[in-house]
Amino acid sequence: MSATARTAAPQGGARQAMSDGLIVMQRNLTRVPRIPELAIFAIVQSIMFVFLFAFVFGGAIPLPGYPDPNAYREYLMPGIFVQTIAFAAATTAIGMCEDINKGIVDRFRSLPMARSAVLTGRTSADVVYQSGILVVLMLTGLLVGWGVHTSIPEFLAGVILLLVFAFCMSWIGVWLGTSVPTVEVAQQVSFIVIFPITFVSNVFVPLQSLPDWLQPIAEWNPISTLTASLRTLWGNPNPFPGSSLASTEPILVTLVWFAIILGVFAPLGVRRYRTMSR
Amino acid sequence: MNAISAEGLVKVYRSRKSEVRALDGVDLEVPEGTILGLLGPNGAGKTTTVRILATLLRPDAGRATVAGFDVVKQAQELRRVIGLSGQYAAVDENLTGRENLVMFGRLYQLRKEEARHRASALLEQFELTDAASRVVKTYSGGMRRRLDLASALIGRPRLLFLDEPTTGLDPRSRLGMWDVIRTLVREGTTLLLTTQYLEEADELADTIAVVDHGKIIARGTADQLKADVGGARVEVIVHSRDDIGRAREVLARDLDGECTLDEHTRKLTIPAHGGAQALAQVVRDLDEAGIAIDDIGLRRPTLDDVFLSLTGHVAEEPIDDDSAPDTGGKAA
């Protein structure tokens, strides 16, 4: 018996990790149109929020410095994108948990494939999936009067921020999905956590309308800094006269947030996955 | 050379409240090209043993080599030469049969073309060609198991683990599965099979290891195990309750050994070392004594008897459960 390294294939471990990750990603994407309910539900939920806030509550939420009633819709849409992408954590957690409980992960773990591929394949597929949802939402946004008023590079920079955010949230989902016993729990936990976080932010209301003690929390919330970044990049209204770094340099703070989320949750998720059934 | 050898495997599952010794020192040896049947009731430790040997679980103590590779230190090399199929190593129900096989083949590091060829050949072999482009969700239980087994074979493993391959299948699908398994072994694959069906171990395995409470309590061929329990016995069911006493006297005169009585069914059982000769003698003597009988026969011990005498309890026949392939998971 030849004694090769135990961690990966002889030679090209990284190459195998890449190709195995792509195979798993392809598998996850093949499943999307076969379970259309998932994507439809995600899109309907977001569109419901668009209509609820654009046409029901929006009129009652004044934007300081923007008397035009249309301004609120321009204000709203970047926040809706961020809120929707935040749910990437739920999508990943549910998918991960289902694969574990149905035994697919055990099958993968018994194969001579790169150990990382199940997680990289999952998170990368979920980023692709979220970008599809994003396209539908942007078209909806255009219909209700949202638009990008800057340049194509700035538009693309915003999109990239959103996709990196999806990747970060997806790693939170990996950790969550490997930690909870059932898909139902994964779903409940992610909804209970993500909804309040997106509400205590600048997504739906300007920060100055919040009580004083809550303002700094909402201001430093990564949901807020990302939303503020998008509004800045795309020339959408963003009325908050804050003087903290989170308000003056939202893009920088957002990137730091991304690094923190990935730095914490990717290792946590990988560790949980490795020690599963040990 | 032994395809599988394990020494003193221990696995303890700890939770806040309790500690379960799922495996309590399991030793195993499976020569290359043979079938070992791991027989035991639910929760005996069969699945835990397979999960350790297939690198899904680390033992808390003991060591094991499979195909010459250490299950802990050389897990990745080992995965190249084994196939795993059973209750928990599932297929993706939202992919088609062919998509599943090609994916698993590629993850076995086969080239794309080779994976496609292998997939087609296996679909053909397992009579799934017609269903190849349907999603697995639409498959029957038997088809799903066949696809599962095909998935385990895609990388041409030298060694195959089948964890309860027929649990939850209807009798016809079970017979079909047995045929498939026999064919595999004829081709020289070494196989470790777990089952809670005594009949299945009897039909398929070369050697049987009986597991109970995380320990192997007996091993041998089906015939050896049966012989350990004792040879054949004569069973007589007398027609009238009043004749039980007299029938007993006849049996005691013709045969040695302890005669047991089941009052309810009026059945008398006594060891019959003389086999058919002894049976003929008993029939004549009962007739002469004018005792009417409903039934008489020479019965060989079954694995049921083996199990009963080894463990003191009857092997439970599992309740057939369609959801069986979905159970298991992280905690199993």
Nearest-CB residue to A102 (from B69, B104, B326): B326
Distance between CA atoms of residues A198 and B160, nearest Å: 50
Q: Is pTM, for the whole model, over 0.90?
A: no
Tokens of B146: 């066949």
Element (H, E) at B163: strand B159-163
Using alpha carbons, select from B79, B68, B128 the residue that is nearest to residue B107: B79
Between the two ends of chain A, the Cα-to-Cα distance in Å is: 27
What residues pair up with B269 in beta bridges, in sequence order? B235, B260
Nearest-CB residue to B107 (from A3, A30, A113): A113
B326:A101 CB<8 A: yes
Distance between CA atoms of residues A88 and A107, nearest Å: 25
Tokens of A277: 């059934």
DSSP annotation of A53? I
Q: Please state, rounded to an integer, the average pLDDT across all residues of chain A.
A: 90
A30 in reach of chain B (CB within 8 A) = yes
- The topology (CATH level 3) of B231-300 is Alpha-Beta Plaits (3.30.70)
Q: In what order do the strands lie in the sheet with B293-299?
A: B260-262, B267-271, B233-238, B293-299
Output B310-318 pairs: Cβ under 8 A, ≥24 positions apart: B310/B210, B310/B212, B310/B217, B310/B218, B311/B210, B311/B212, B311/B217, B313/B41, B315/B39, B315/B40, B315/B41, B315/B196, B315/B198, B316/B41, B316/B42, B316/B196, B317/B196, B317/B197, B318/B42, B318/B167, B318/B196
Contacts of B280 (CB under 8 A, 6+ apart): none
**B103 interaction partners in chain A (CB closer than 8 Å):** 23, 27
Q: What residue of A is the nearest CA neighbor of B154?
A: A111
Quick one: pLDDT at residue B321?
38
Contact between residue B182 and residue B204 where contact means Cβ atoms under 8 Å apart:
yes
A103 in reach of chain B (CB within 8 A) = yes
**A109 interaction partners in chain B (CB closer than 8 Å):** 55-56
Side chain identity at residue A15, one-letter code: R
Quick one: pLDDT at residue B33?
87
**B54 interaction partners in chain A (CB closer than 8 Å):** 110
Residue A2 pLDDT more than 90? no
Residue A4 pLDDT more than 50? no
User: How does pLDDT run across B230-249, given as a tens digit for each residue?
Assistant: 777 888 898 888 888 888 88
Query: Who wins on pLDDT, A93 or A241?
Result: A93
User: How does pLDDT run across B24-45, given as a tens digit for each residue?
Assistant: 999 999 998 899 999 888 888 9
Contact between residue B293 and residue B255 where contact means Cβ atoms under 8 Å apart:
no
Distance between CA atoms of residues B324 and B332, nearest Å: 13
**B107 interaction partners in chain A (CB closer than 8 Å):** 20, 23-24, 108, 111-113, 117
Side chain identity at residue B72, one-letter code: V
Contact between residue A38 and residue A133 where contact means Cβ atoms under 8 Å apart:
no
Tokens of B204: 């398929």
Backbone angles phi, psi at B13, to 5 degrees: -100, 120
Element (H, E) at B55: none
Contact between residue B326 and residue B174 where contact means Cβ atoms under 8 Å apart:
no
Distance between CA atoms of residues B82 and B192, nearest Å: 11
Quick one: pLDDT at residue A267?
93
Residue listed under structure tokens 């083996």: B306
Q: How far is A190 from chain B (nearest CA, A)?
A: 20
Quick one: pLDDT at residue B328?
37
Tell me the H-state helices in A52-182: 71-86, 88-102, 104-109, 117-143, 152-179
Contact between residue B157 and residue B46 where contact means Cβ atoms under 8 Å apart:
no
Q: What residue of B is the nearest CA neighbor of A102?
A: B326
Helix (H, G, I), strand (E, B) or coil at A193: helix
Contacts of B276 (CB under 8 A, 6+ apart): B298
Element (H, E) at A13: helix A13-31
Distance between CA atoms of residues B62 and B215, nearest Å: 13
What number is the average pLDDT over the span A201-218?
92
CA dihedral of B227, B228, B232, B238, whole degrees rounded to 10: -150
Quick one: pLDDT at residue B313?
61
Interface residues from chain B to A (CB-CB < 8 Å)? 51, 54-58, 68-69, 73-77, 79-80, 82, 84, 87-95, 99, 103-104, 106-109, 135, 151, 155, 325-326, 328-332
- Could you report the predicted ipTM of this complex, rounded to two decimals? 0.86
Quick one: pLDDT at residue B188?
81
Tokens of B215: 């320990």
Side chain identity at residue B110, one-letter code: L
A33 in reach of chain B (CB within 8 A) = no
Low-confidence stretches of chain B (pLDDT < 70) are 88-89, 303-304, 312-332
What residues pair up with B163 in beta bridges, in sequence order? B86, B194
- The topology (CATH level 3) of B2-227+319-326 is Rossmann fold (3.40.50)
For helices A13-31 and A117-143, the axis angle rounded to 10 degrees is 50
Distance between CA atoms of residues B161 and B149, nearest Å: 10
What number is the average pLDDT over the span A149-177?
96
**B328 interaction partners in chain A (CB closer than 8 Å):** 103, 106
Q: List chain B domain ranges.
A: 2-227+319-326, 231-300
What number is the average pLDDT over the span A147-161?
96
Tokens of B5: 């050898």
Tell me the H-state helices in chain B: 46-53, 75-79, 97-107, 112-125, 141-153, 171-186, 198-204, 222-229, 244-254, 276-288, 303-311
Distance between CA atoms of residues B230 and B207, nearest Å: 19
